[in-house]
Structure 1
Amino acid sequence: MPKTLIHRKTALAIILTVQLMLAMDFLIVVVSLKNIQTDLGFTASGLSWIPNAFGLAFGGLLLLGGRLGDMIGQVKAFQTGLAIFVIASLTGGLAGSPEVLIIARILQGAGSALAAPSVLALISILARNEDEKNRGLSLFIAVSSVGASVGLILGGALTAFISWRWSLLINVPVGAIAFAAIRFIVPETIKTKGKVDFFGAFTGAFGSAALVFGFISAGENGWSSPVTIVSFCSAAVLFILFVWVESRIAEPLLKLSILKPKPRRGGLAVMAVIVGMHFAALFLILQYFQQVLGYNPLLAGCAYLPLTMTVFILSNFVPALLKRYGVRTLLITGSILVAVSLVGFSRLTGSSTYLGDVLLPLLLHSAGIALVFIPGSIVILENVADQDAGIASGVLQISQQIGGAVGIAAIISVYTANAHAQDFSSGLQAAFLIAAGIALMAAVIAMFSIPGKITKT
């Protein structure tokens, strides 16, 4: 086998491993929340910041990460982000207080925001032709699709057999090896000269944070709370400022022209909605496994194995389905399947069982996710100029990260408003029915924004 081919395959394996690690980290510690609370003394409300601190920093800084990757080179951006992520993982794994862990999670998100946009760019560089590029994209999407549920399984196993701390510490050796190897395998990319739009980075990041914080506050303090109202108003003002600035400066963080194609805007909306409802379902069902069915962290994580395997297997068939039915049909079908699965979850009670009541909706949910993620990513990334690859990747992933954070916060706020003390399942019906309605909105968006002729894979 030619040496260059060995290097190309090795580099692709390293890059996809890092992508899996980054995708897992949003929810990998969720299965360990009870253990973390016991060890570090978190308050009940403070626990929600463990996943959300990561998601907010990741989603809020992705555009800046994509821009920096174009300017300093994708390999350097990948390495720098990975270094920050590894140091933050070590800090979080050794944390002795809630404050240190939350700061570490923010830094993990910041490192991920710098490294993640470079992943797709490096996959494109490694490909020798369009077919290899599409295969690499399919692998990237498959890994990203199963990352959250794999994180729950791995986090449960590490918590059960070693300690919750290893949910973070495991990133250190993996990240260090990837950091050392990538420079010798992949040549640096062409750098784009220009200035960094720090004001756009500020308004975009803090606007996203204010939006998510508003939903978290709504769950804790109510929708009419001054904190909730101020958060949503601040988010609106910051987003308006972001768009205003980006439309007027010479070198914007986000070229608004990237959002001009209607299919791309529709794809971003569908991805944000479905990922949001997906993460919310993972979060709530995990709590159901532990608090109602009495599963330990390992069993709770393993209960998601059917979802992980189904998404990974079906992802291999999606390219063929795309050629036959097109992007729009798959997005609509997948969104409807997700909505139906959420209706199924809404029927869970204190006497429900895994095999009798959870497994079927879980499999339907898996099929829906598999049918949305690859077509959604394709329609978002199609016809993007090479020099905008980093920004386009950031836009795709920001729709997932912010969608996930907002989805969890919004649906948990509905759950909290309808749940009764000492009865965890009491709030599930309202939360999942609202989630199902939101997922159906994604199907409507796809129907009216995505043309049926888009079939590129």
Structure 2
Amino acid sequence: MSATVSDTGTGKAPGPSRSGGLALAVIAVAQLMVMLDATIVNVALPEVQKDLGLHTTDLSWVVNSYTLAFGGLLLLGGRIGDILGRRRVFLGGIAVFTLASLAGGFAQSAVWLMTCRALQGVGAAVIAPSILALIVTTFLDEGVRNKAFGVYAAVSGSGAAIGLLAGGALTQALSWRWVLFVNVPIGIALFFVIPKVLRETDRQPGRFDVYGALTSTLGMGALVYAFIRAADKGWSDGPALATFATAVVLLVAFVVIESRTSTPIIPLRMFRDRNRAGIYVIGLCLTGSVMGLFFFLTLLMQNVFSYDPFQAGLAFLPVSVSIVFTAAVASKQLPRLGLKLPLVLGVSLNTAALLWLSNVSTSTGYLTGLLGPMLLFGVGTGLLFVPLSQLGVAGVPMEDSGAASSLLNATQQVGGSLGLAVLMTVFGATTRSSTGADPATVLTDSTSAAFLTSAGFAALALLIAAVGVKVPGKEPAVVPGQEPGATPAQSPA
């Protein structure tokens, strides 16, 4: 595989990179590392709970401390990459992520673990936008770039499921601490290989929007905390309501700051594009559904169906396989199908799968009640990831490509945190209303309610995909500076 890359300090493309295939492999491994860490701890949660003495409601913070820092700082991370150079920032993110993983593996308390998970999220927040932007600037040939987007989509879509499988295997064979230690050798290898296969991008002039980053991150953190506290205490709880009000104030302040600063982390003009705004909302809704599916199914499998960690991780393997296979096939068929059809079909299948899972009960079997909807969900996710990724950066000026990719990632990560927090509220409310039933029935009924709410998220995404996203023609190749459906400019040789 050959690829052309943007030379440092010039706007011209030199010849093919020394190893386009290796460059793509490095990008894919880095993307897999940050994606699977959103779920790799899920299967280990029961062991973490026993070892560190966590309350069940607090378990969601082991997941959310990562995704909140990840999503909340992605916007600033994309801007940092634009200004300082994406390869340089990519390396810095890898270093932070690796060190946080090492420290987290030695955690002796809940606060220690959650702090390290948040630091992992900080590292991921500068890695992820650099990845998507590096694909755009590294692979200038249209065919190669489409293949790279296909690999990116497959890795992104399957990362959560692979994380569950890896987490189960590591927890069963070694201990829960190895779900963090496993990142250390990968991070070290990436740190030394990246300078050899990826060239630095042009640096854009500008300043960092620190106030915007702080208000957005603190605002989303307060919002998620309010929902999680309400899941445990109910919405009559004073601190939950006060935190919710604080979140609203911070998020309004964020919008005001972004509308007035000359260097916003979110250029509000990006929301003027109907397709892009729709894609952001779709990503927000769907990632909440995905995180809910993995989180609640993991607890259900181990606490109701008596799976051990490895069995629980293995049970998700069909999801991972179906995502990878479908994404590979879909990326090849995009010139014929276009972007709209796989997007709508994928979201439709996800909605149907979640509705199916909402029928779960204590007598549900894996083959009769779980495998079918999980496969359906995997196929749907594989179909929609490529159009979701491409439409999210379509028509964006090259100088804003980092901000656009970080905004796409941010809506997905924030959607995961916020969605899981909302689902925990539904889960908690159902649990409190079922105090007289046996624990297995309570957990199953509460999980069923959470899945039904997830299906509601997916249904909203389906409505937006079907009605709100308008894609002219069937041309799938969309890059910054080019609208979907436009004829791409000839890539330099």
TM-score bin (small chain) = over 0.9
Q: 1:5 to 1:75 in 2, by over 3 A?
A: closer
Which one of 257, 271, 286 corresponds to residue 274 of structure 1?
Answer: 286
Query: What's 1:214 paired with?
Result: 226
Query: What's 1:190 paired with?
Result: 202
What is the Cα deviation at residue 49 of structure 1?
1.1
> Is 1:371 paired with 2:377?
no
List per-residue Cα deviations over 1:42-68 (Å, max 9, x = no partner): 233332211110011000000010000
What is the Cα deviation at residue 169 of structure 1?
0.5
1:5-44 → structure 2 map (5 Å cutoff)? 7-44=19-56
Which one of 302, 307, 310 corresponds to residue 319 of structure 2?
Answer: 307
What is the Cα deviation at residue 306 of structure 1?
0.5
What is the Cα deviation at residue 454 of structure 1?
5.3
Which one of 133, 147, 169 corresponds to residue 181 of structure 2?
Answer: 169
List per-residue Cα deviations over 1:175-228 (Å, max 9, x = no partner): 011011111222211111221111111111111112211221221111232222
What is the Cα deviation at residue 78 of structure 1?
0.4
Q: Distance in 1 between matches of 2:214 and 2:252?
A: 13
1:181-260 → structure 2 map (5 Å cutoff)? 181-260=193-272
CA contact 2:38–2:66 (8 Å) conserved in 1:
yes
After superposition, the CA RMSD in angstroms is: 1.7
Query: What's 2:367 paired with?
Result: 355
What is the Cα deviation at residue 8 of structure 1?
2.2
List per-residue Cα deviations over 1:339-371 (Å, max 9, x = no partner): 111111111111110001111111111122122
Q: Secondary structure at the match of 1:44?
A: coil
CA contact 2:283–2:412 (8 Å) conserved in 1:
yes
Moved more, 84-93 or 312-321: 312-321
1:282-301 → structure 2 map (5 Å cutoff)? 282-301=294-313
CA contact 1:332–1:442 (8 Å) conserved in 2:
no
Q: Distance in 1 between matches of 2:257 and 2:377?
A: 39
Which one of 73, 83, 87 corresponds to residue 95 of structure 2?
Answer: 83
Q: Secondary structure at the match of 2:396?
A: coil
Query: What's 1:433 paired with?
Result: 452
- The letter for the 2-side match of 1:448 is V
CA contact 1:85–1:112 (8 Å) conserved in 2:
yes
Which one of 466, 469, 490 corresponds to residue 447 of structure 1?
Answer: 466
Ranges in structure 2 where 5+ consecutive residues have no aligned partner: 3-14, 478-493
CA contact 2:18–2:197 (8 Å) conserved in 1:
no
Q: Distance in 2 between matches of 1:11 and 1:199?
A: 35
Q: Secondary structure at the match of 1:351?
A: coil
What is the Cα deviation at residue 41 of structure 1?
2.4
CA contact 1:210–1:232 (8 Å) conserved in 2:
yes
Moved more, 89-98 or 425-434: 425-434
What is the Cα deviation at residue 6 of structure 1?
5.0
Query: What's 1:153 paired with?
Result: 165
- Give TM-score, length-normalised by structure 2: 0.89
Q: Distance in 1 between matches of 2:301 and 2:382?
A: 23
Moved more, 143-152 or 416-425: 416-425
What is the Cα deviation at residue 329 of structure 1?
2.8
Q: Distance in 2 between matches of 1:428 and 1:30?
A: 15
List per-residue Cα deviations over 1:137-190 (Å, max 9, x = no partner): 121111011101100000000000111111000101100110111112222111
> Is 1:335 paired with 2:347?
yes
Q: 1:226 to 1:90 in 2, by over 3 A?
A: same
Q: Distance in 1 between matches of 2:454 and 2:468?
A: 21
Q: Distance in 2 between matches of 1:452 and 1:15?
A: 28
Q: Secondary structure at the match of 2:266?
A: coil
1:390-405 → structure 2 map (5 Å cutoff)? 390-405=402-417
Query: What's 1:412 paired with?
Result: 424
CA contact 1:207–1:235 (8 Å) conserved in 2:
yes
Q: Secondary structure at the match of 1:317?
A: helix
1:107-122 → structure 2 map (5 Å cutoff)? 107-122=119-134
- The letter for the 1-side match of 2:459 is L
Q: Distance in 1 between matches of 2:471 and 2:81?
A: 33
- The letter for the 1-side match of 2:87 is V
Ranges in structure 1 where 5+ consecutive residues have no aligned partner: none
Q: Distance in 1 between matches of 2:473 and 2:121?
A: 33
Moved more, 367-376 or 316-325: 316-325
Q: Distance in 2 between matches of 1:5 and 1:252?
A: 33
Q: Distance in 2 between matches of 1:55 and 1:227?
A: 23
Query: What's 1:326 paired with?
Result: 338
- The letter for the 2-side match of 1:442 is A
- Give TM-score, length-normalised by structure 1: 0.96
Identity among equivalent positions (%) equals 37
Q: Secondary structure at the match of 2:260?
A: coil
What is the Cα deviation at residue 428 of structure 1?
2.8
- The letter for the 2-side match of 1:168 is L
Q: Secondary structure at the match of 2:201?
A: coil
Q: Secondary structure at the match of 2:44?
A: helix
